Amino acid sequence: MALLRSKRLVAASVAVVVVLGGAGAVLAGGFSRSSGPDRTYGTPNPFVEATATVHVVPIRQGSSFVTLHVRGVEAPAGTTFGAHVHQSPCGPVATDAGPHYQHAGLSSDVPLELREVWLDVTVNAAGNGHSAATRTWQVDGSTPRSVILHALPTAPDGTAGPRLACIDLDGAG
C-alpha cells in the first residue's frame, strides 16, 4: 500500500496545470516543461477561460501514456472536441502548430489513430473532461510540440474542424 501511495505521489508531483491563453508549463516525453504562452484562436471560443493539463509519460518498453484534462470549458454537456499532438509549438496563428505529429517508425498500414496521438475530450455540465491514449512508442521530444484542441470530434481521416486552443509541449532536450 505504501508503494502504491508513493507511485501516486510521484505521478502527482509531475502534473503541471496549463492555463489556456496564459503562460504555463506541461510535461513532454522527457519530462521537460514548457515556458511559452498557450494560445486560443477565434471568437467566440469555449476555451478562453478554461484550464488544461497534459501529461506525456514514458512507460514500459518504450511506450507512452498521454492524458488530457480540461476544466471550465464553456460548452454544453456532452460536447466532444478533437485533440491531437501536433508537430510544432503554438504560435500566433493556429496553423503555426503544423500538422498532426506522426510516429516516424510506423508504416502506413498501421491505422492513422495509432500513428498519431488522438485525445478527443467530451465535457460534462461543469465543462470538465478527461481523455487518455497509450501508444507503443514514445513521443519524440527532440523538438517542441503542442496539443491542439479542435472544434469537432476527430473523424476517421484525422480531421476535427477549426483549431480552438493550443498547449505547448517542450522538447525532451
Does 13 fall in a domain? no
Residue 27 has which C-alpha cell?
Answer: 510535461
Cell of 60: 514500459
- Does 2 fall in a domain? no
Range of the domain at 103: 18-169
CATH of the domain at 36: 2.60.40.200
Assess if residue 5 is contained within a domain. no
Q: What is the pLDDT of residues 59-104, one digit of tens each?
A: 888 898 888 999 999 999 999 999 999 999 999 999 999 999 999 9
Domains contained in the chain, number = 1
Q: pLDDT tens digits, residue range 127-136?
A: 999 999 999 9
**Looking at the domain assignment, is residue 6 inside a domain?**
no
pTM of the model: 0.80
